Chains A and B, each alone.
Chain A
Amino acid sequence: MFEYAPAPESQALVNFKDSYGHFIDGKFLKPGKTYQTINPANEKVLADITYGTEKDVDLAVKAARHAYEKVWSKLPGAERGKYLYRIARIIQERARELAVAETLNNGKPIKETRDVDIPLVAAWFFYYAGWADKLDYAGLGPNPQALGVAAQVIPWNFPLMMLAWKIAPALAAGNTVVLKPAETTPLTALLFAEICQQAELPDGVVNIVTGFGDTGAALVGHKDVNKVAFTGSTEVGRIIARQVAGTNKKVTLELGGKAANIVFDDAPLDQAVEGIINGIFFNQGHVCCAGSRLLVQESIQDELLKKLQRRMESLRLGDPMDKNTDIGAINSKAQLKKIEALVKQGEKEGAERWSPACVIPKNGFYFAPTLMLGVSPANTVAREEIFGPVLSVMTFRTPQEAVTKANNTEFGLSAGIWTEKGSRILKLADQLNAGVVWANTFNQFDPTSPFGGFKESGYGREGGKQGLAAYLKGGY
C-alpha cells in the first residue's frame, strides 16, 4: 500500500460562534438552555447549541405562518425562484467553508463533503429554483397551491444535504418552513440560516429550531403545521405516523433500509468491487440506502471476496479533515455503541467477522470497515439496519433466489444489481421492491431523480417532480 503524507484541509476556513440560539423570523435569538455539539473525530467541543422547547417551536411556527400569509404566498413564483437561485449561488461561493463545517461536525471525510454533499446541496436549490414559476407543469392541474407551513426534521448523516432536500422543494412550492436539524449536527443548518440572511430571504420563510427528539416531536405535533417531512429511523417514522393520525397533515417519511447489492457471475468484478465499497463504506455506512447486504452468486463468491478484501485493505481510516481519508469518524458515541452491539450479536448468531488491519485513532469515534461472512438470512445483521461500515455477505444461485432474498426484508429503499446482461437488469428492476434501483452503479443522487422507499422505508419521494408534488395540494 502506498504511504501518503498528511494532507489536512484547513480548519480556519470556518468560524463557529461560541454559542447559537434558534433562527426565527429572520433573526438569531439569544441562546437558551444549551448543550454542546462536538467534533466526533476528536471529541472537541465546537459550540453550545440551544435545546429547543415547545415554546420555541411555537414561536417558530408562528413566524412561519405569518411569513406564509403575509409575504411568501403572495410572491410570484418567479420571485420565489430568484431567492432560491441566490441561495444556490451563495452555497457555491461558500462551498469550501460549508464542506469543512460539515466534516467538523459530522465526522465524514472532507473529500465527501467537498465532492458530494455540498455540490448536491447547491444543485438541489438550483433545480427547485427553476420549478417555482412552473408549478402549472407539475402534473397537478393548473395553479396548484402550497400547503402552508412545513415541519421538517432531518438526520445527522447528511446534515446540510438533507436540509436542502427538505427546504428547496418546500420553498419552491410556496410553503414556509420550520426545520429541526439533528441534535449532533446542527452547525451547517445554522450557517444556512446566515445564508438566508445574506440572500435577504424574507423573515420567517425559513426558521431553524435546534434541539433533541422532544423538540422535533413538538414541531411535528404542532397544531398549525400543514406538512410533516421526516428523514430518520423507521422507529421514529412510526411514532410520527401515529402522531399525525386523524389530522390533515400531509406526510413524507424517508426511513431506514437494508439494501441488497446483488452481484451475478457475469458482472465486471472490479467495477462491482468499487460499487460494493461505495455502497457500504461511503459516509461510514451512515446511509439509509447503503448496500448493506451483499448477495453474491455462489460460483464467484471466493473470487469476489478475495478482491473485496484486498480493496478493503487499501481503505484509509482516520482524520476526516485529511483529503486522503476514505473512512472518517462515526457520528456519535451512541451510534458507535449500537454498531458494536449489532456486530457482536451477528457473531453470536454464527457470522464470521473480518476487518483489514487498521489503526483506530485514540480519540474520537471510529469503527473499522467490516465484513460479516456466512450470514444466514435470519441473522440480526441480515435483517436490521446497522447504519455503519458493516457489510453482511450472503450467496444465491438463481436470479429468482436473488430476488426473493433481496425482497425478504421489511425495508424497501434501494437495491443494486451487477451484471452485464441487460435483460436481466430490467427484469430484476421490475421485481425488486425498492424505490431506487442502481444497476452497475450505486449511491448516485441527483435533484432531478426521485428518491424514497417502499414498505417500511417510508412513503413519498424527494427529488424530481414527485418531490415537488409532496409540497403541493393534490400531490402525492
Chain B
Amino acid sequence: MRLDIRKTYKLFIGGKFPRSESGRVYPVADSKGEFLANVAMASRKDARDAVVAARAAQSGWAGATAYNRGQVLYRIAEMLEGRREQFVAEIRALTGKSDRQANQEVDAAIDSWVWHAGWTDKIDAVAGNMNPVAGPFFNISTLQATGVVAAFAPQDSALLGLVNTIAPAIVSGNAIVVVSSGSLPLPAITLTEVLATSDLPGGVVNVLTGKEAEIAPWLASHQDVNAIDLEGTSNFVELEIQAAQNLKRVIRKGDFARLGSKGSLNHITNLMEVKTVWHPKGH
C-alpha cells in the first residue's frame, strides 16, 4: 500500500509560490461540508508584496509585443487544456457540479483565454484612431495598459469567474493582484501552476487566497495600484471611497459579466488609458 501525496496550497506572488508571511491557513470544505484542504490565508503584507511584484513586472509585460502577449495568453489556454482533469475534479469537489457541468466550466475558461489572446494586437485597430485635427498635425490615439490592477474574483465561481477577471486585465499589459473566491480557492491555485508554466513573466499575475474582506481595504487604499475591480467584494461602497484617494479606475460590482466563454472589449478598455500623440507636419 502506498500513501498518496497531497498538495500544499500556497499563494502565487512574483512567479513564486510562497506561504503567507503570516503563517496562517484556513480549511476549505467540499460541497458536502467535509474538510478538503488547508489553504494559505493571505495577510496585508502578502497583498503589499504582491503589489510590489506586480509593479516590477508591469512595464516589461506592457513592453512585450502584442504578438508575444497573444502567444503567452494562448499558451495559458493550452496548459489549461492539458490539466483539464485536475480542474474538473477540483470544481466538482468544491461545488458538487456534475462531470458535464464542470467540464463545461473548464471549456468556457479555456475558450475565454483564447478569445482574449486574439485581442492583444487588435485593441488599437478597433478602439484607437487617427484624428483629423484642423491643422498641420499628425495626431493618433492609442490605448495602453493603466498599470497595476487589484481585483476580486467573483465569490461564487471556482474557475471561470477568476479567468474572466484576470484575462481582461493582463491582455493589454496590466499586471494584476487578484484575490480568489474565498470558499472556492483550489482551482485558483491550480491555475497559478498553469500560469507559471505558460511563459507568463513572474509578477504579471499574483494570486492571493484568504478573506476578501480582510485584504480588500489594503488594496483599495494602496497608493501604487492604478485600478480596482470590485466584483468579488462585499463592502464595495467603502472600498470605492478608499480607491478615490489616488483616483483609481474603478470597476464596480456587476459592471461586466464573468461567466461567459468570451469577455467584452469594453471590460478590456476600461483598464486602459487613451494616449494621444501630436506632431507637426512640415518639411
> Which A residues are in CB contact (< 8 Å) with B141?
449-450, 464, 466
Stretch from A42-50, A175-183, A432-440 contacting the other chain: A432-440
Q: A139-B126, A242-B241, A464-B129 are in contact. Are A234 and B139 (CB under 8 A)?
A: no
> Which B residues are in CB contact (< 8 Å) with A238?
244-245, 247
CB atoms of B275 and A437 under 8 A apart: yes
Alpha-carbon distance A255/B146, docked complex (angstroms) = 17
CB atoms of A446 and B139 under 8 A apart: yes
Q: Nearest chain B CB to A402's CB is how many angstroms away?
A: 16
Complex interface bits, B270-283 against A, C-beta within 8 A gives 1, otherwise 0: 10011111111000
Stretch from A343-351, A368-376, A451-459 contacting the other chain: A451-459
> Which A residues are in CB contact (< 8 Å) with B277?
429, 436-439
A410 within 8 A of B: yes
Alpha-carbon distance A458/B146, docked complex (angstroms) = 12
> Which B residues are in CB contact (< 8 Å) with A475?
266
Give chain A's interface residue range (CB within 8 Å of chain B): 35 or more
Q: Nearest chain A CB to B101's CB is how many angstroms away?
A: 30
Alpha-carbon distance A64/B246, docked complex (angstroms) = 32
Q: A123-B134, A242-B241, A246-B236 are in contact. Are A452 and B246 (CB under 8 A)?
A: no
Most buried by A among B134, B141, B241: B141
Complex interface bits, B246-283 against A, C-beta within 8 A gives 1, otherwise 0: 11011010000000000000100110011111111000
A286 within 8 A of B: no
Closest chain B residue to A457, Cβ basis:
B247
Q: A245-B237, A439-B279 are in contact. Are A446 and B135 (CB under 8 A)?
A: yes
> Which B residues are in CB contact (< 8 Å) with A465?
129
Q: A446-B134, A446-B135, A465-B129 are in contact. Are A459 and B276 (CB under 8 A)?
A: no
CB atoms of B275 and A435 under 8 A apart: yes
Closest chain A residue to B246, Cβ basis:
A456
CB atoms of B273 and A454 under 8 A apart: yes
Residue of A242, A434, A474 touching B275 (CB-CB under 8 A): A434
CB atoms of A455 and B226 under 8 A apart: yes
CB atoms of A441 and B237 under 8 A apart: no
Q: A241-B247, A455-B247, A464-B129 are in contact. Are A449 and B240 (CB under 8 A)?
A: no
Alpha-carbon distance A253/B243, docked complex (angstroms) = 14
A425 within 8 A of B: yes
A92 within 8 A of B: no
CB atoms of B278 and A437 under 8 A apart: yes
CB atoms of B237 and A246 under 8 A apart: yes
CB atoms of A438 and B146 under 8 A apart: no
CB atoms of A246 and B240 under 8 A apart: yes
Closest chain A residue to B136, Cβ basis:
A441
B127 within 8 A of A: yes
A335 within 8 A of B: no
Chain B contacts to A: CB under 8 angstroms:
63, 126-127, 129, 131-135, 137, 139, 141, 144, 146, 226, 236-238, 240-241, 243-247, 249-250, 252, 266, 269-270, 273-280
Q: List 28 A-B contacts (CB under 8 A).
A: A234-B247, A237-B247, A238-B244, A238-B245, A241-B243, A245-B237, A245-B238, A410-B246, A412-B273, A425-B279, A435-B273, A436-B276, A436-B277, A437-B275, A437-B278, A444-B278, A446-B139, A448-B131, A448-B132, A448-B134, A449-B276, A449-B278, A454-B273, A455-B247, A456-B246, A461-B274, A476-B269, A476-B270
Give 8 nearest A-B pairs by CB, closest first: A246-B237, A241-B244, A245-B240, A446-B133, A448-B131, A449-B131, A439-B279, A242-B244
